[in-house]
Amino acid sequence: MSRLAVTVLVLVASVAVVACADNILKERPAAKAVRATAAKPAFAAMGKAKGESSVCASYRRQLRVVQLRQTLATGKPVAAQLKATELSLNAVIADACE
């Protein structure tokens, strides 16, 4: 009977040690944390206004083209479509650039 008690005690102790070791290994990372680098902006800021980017300049060029086409448009469907495009571009410029 004492051999059985010793065997059970050794078995329980080994399971406890393995469980503790497993928890300790899970809590500690294997390698040191690597310092994350900051993400670079997707586009460069350049233009007349402070902070104006090439993307904003592109939207402004598109808006000028649409406004020019509006002055030359003769049909109502074309004019309505150009007006919708102008409103959309104005919204994008107001959102992203100002």
Query: 94: which 2 tokens?
Result: 């107001």
pLDDT tens digits, 38-91:
665 555 444 455 556 788 888 899 999 999 988 887 778 888 888 999 999 998
Please give the model's pTM, rounded to 2 decimal places: 0.45
Q: What is the pLDDT of residues 24-43, one digit of tens each?
A: 666 655 555 556 666 655 55
Residues in the chain: 98
At 21, is the pLDDT very low, low, confident or very high (cuts 50, 70, 90)? low
Phi first, then psi: give them for residue 74, nearest 5 degrees. Answer: -110, -35
**Three-point CA angle 3, 8, 10, nearest 5°:** 95
Q: Give strand pairing partners of 53.
A: 45
Looking at per-residue pLDDT, the higher value among 11 and 82 belongs to 82
